[in-house]
A and B are shown apart, each in its own frame.
Chain A
Amino acid sequence: MEQQELIPHLFRTEFRKIAAVLCKHFGIEHIETAEDIASDTFLLAVETWTYEGLPANPTAWLYTVAKNKTKNYFHRSHIFSEKIVSEIKKTFPKTEQPEINLSEQNITDSQLQMLFAICHPSIPTESQIGLALRILCGFGINEIANAFLTNNETINKRLFRAKEKLRAEKVKIEFPDKPEIRNRLETVLTTLYLFFSEGYYSESDDMILREDLCEEAMRLTFMLIGNEQTNLPAVNALFSLMCFHSSRFAARKNEKGEMILYHDQDESLWNQELIIKGIYFLHEAAKGNEVSKYHIEASIAYWHTIKSDTKEKWENILQLYNKLLQIEYSPIAALNRTYALSKANSKQEAIIEAEKLNLADNHFYFALLGELYTDLDDNKAKENFQKAISLAKTQTGKQTIQKKVEQLAIKKISIPD
């Protein structure tokens, strides 16, 4: 790899490792110090390598520099001399300075423990995702701002407040006790799920960034699978869901970045490797009796990997949505359930059910009604599609529905009534 490519690559893979280990080492109250030392290490790498060329082992070089910078920091820091020294002397009576442990095992452990610390119920989910992107994925503030479609200042403030809160709550960077794991894991999984959705459904035009987000969410989820204590059915189910969704990445947008609806997707673009992975982890998730919402969503996603419209497929999807809604209601699940009902039972039945949903402020609601009325009553279909367009908040959203209206018009010309 050329130097120009190597540094960003190493930054992506090594920043997060160094940051997590240092956070773990210093404690959550010094999270900024950890970030600073990790950043300084890379700054020095850029400066030094530009003049002296690449060292034989760049990663080892980075770790050595990070260790030295930490030592220097300890020497200088008042916080160290006043607060930490006495603590450390108790814990390490013989050694003068604690050594930073950048072994693979400690890196993984630190990252996992940081994940639990960051996904703390005391801070809002979007801050949890922001912090995870920064500390555990090594994203720059700029990238995080792009992902959330906001500016650097907002993100800086958001992260600052979140760190303050974690400090105030004295959140410990440690693995939760065994009986507590399941509870804490629930928050972690919710965050990872939304983290993934942020990438998958983001309105951001930056395709590469969006795929990166999804990949990072998957990497963190996979880390939980790699640890015996957190390798639980719900985690496997969530990972399976992520595999199925990402398998459609290449097929769901055209070269202009416009959304291609599931029905119109070219299934040869679906990533078979990810589909097979999804099936494997869905099987893994079935070990045990637990049925989480991730199990159900992954099963729904599995049925969507079969493109052809069979009665069996839609009947299964309908029953899964029936179950999902009993566990957790959401407007989008209610709408999808009604669509499945139209496929499994009939459009007429689905229209009656749709009208009970009480979602008249949701543009997807009218898009669904438009879809259901298509062929039954094309005028009503058009009316509903137009309502959906007027309610849609984004340009892409409007365009997608506009196409449906155009299709209705084409049909009218070709089939005289």
Chain B
Amino acid sequence: MEEYALIMRHEDGAKIASPEQMQEWMKQTMDWIGGIAAQNKFVSGTGLPFDGARVVTTKNSKRLVTNGPFGDIKETIGGFVIVKADSFDEAVEFAKGCPVLQGEGNSLEVRKIAKGDGVH
């Protein structure tokens, strides 16, 4: 069994949702994660709130720090979940259930976690 990261990407992190909508998304996300955990396939995960976020770039060999919203960067990462799965296909099945996908243009990126064995 390998570990995979399901990375949630939002098309526009600056969009503001109503508290009711936030609460509904929160429940759906918790139910989605709970469903993975109920199969004993959950490893870890966290949301990444946009509040106070910074972007660090290089301009003329100098580090430049800008506040969010993210301007040029179209997509922002809203959080990630690490799951156990036998294959990419199984990890993808978990990803399909993520409520983030209800938003048109949002996406989930499925990536295998490096084992740190010197090869990967």
Contact = CB atoms under 8 A, between A and B. Distances in A.
Contact of A357 (B30, B31, B33, B39): B39
Nearest to A335: B38
A326 B42 CA distance: 7
A358 B36 CA distance: 12
Interface in A317-350: 318-319, 321-323, 325-326, 329, 333-334, 337-338, 341, 345
A322 B39 contact: no
A353 interface: yes
A319 B37 CA distance: 12
A341 B31 contact: yes
Contact of A329 (B30, B31, B35, B40): B40
B71 interface: no
B62 to A, nearest CB: 39
Most buried by B among A321, A323, A325: A325
B31 A334 contact: no
A325 B31 contact: no
A76 interface: no
B40 A322 contact: no
**What bracket does the count of chain B residues touching chain A fall in?**
10 to 19
A287 interface: no
A323 B37 CA distance: 9
A356 B33 contact: no
A167 to B, nearest CB: 38
Nearest to B37: A325
Nearest to A315: B27
A315 B27 CA distance: 9
Nearest to A319: B30
B68 interface: no
Contact of A358 (B34, B35, B39): B39
B39 A326 contact: no
A93 to B, nearest CB: 57
A329 B40 CA distance: 6
B26 to A, nearest CB: 9
Contacts of B35: 353, 356
A318 B37 contact: no
Contact of B39 (A318, A341, A345, A356): A356
A334 B37 CA distance: 8
B34 A321 contact: yes
Contacts of B33: 322, 326
B67 to A, nearest CB: 29
A160 to B, nearest CB: 37
B79 to A, nearest CB: 14
B35 to A, nearest CB: 5
A333 B88 CA distance: 27
Interface string B13-52: 0000000000000010011011101111010000000000
Nearest to A325: B37
Contacts of A356: 35, 38-39
B66 to A, nearest CB: 32
Nearest to B29: A322
B95 to A, nearest CB: 14
A130 to B, nearest CB: 30
A337 B33 CA distance: 12
Interface in A336-385: 337-338, 341, 345, 353, 356-358
B84 to A, nearest CB: 11
Contacts of B40: 329, 334
A334 B30 contact: no
Nearest to A324: B37
Contacts of B27: 315, 319
Nearest to B39: A356
Most buried by B among A319, A326, A337, A357: A326
A355 to B, nearest CB: 11
Contact of B37 (A322, A341, A345, A358): A322
Contacts of A315: 27
Nearest to B45: A326
7 contacts: A315-B27, A318-B31, A319-B27, A323-B34, A326-B33, A337-B34, A356-B35
Given A319-B30, A326-B34, 14 more contacts: A315-B27, A318-B31, A318-B34, A322-B37, A325-B34, A326-B33, A326-B42, A329-B42, A334-B37, A334-B38, A341-B31, A345-B31, A353-B38, A357-B38
Interface of A: 315, 318-319, 321-323, 325-326, 329, 333-334, 337-338, 341, 345, 353, 356-358
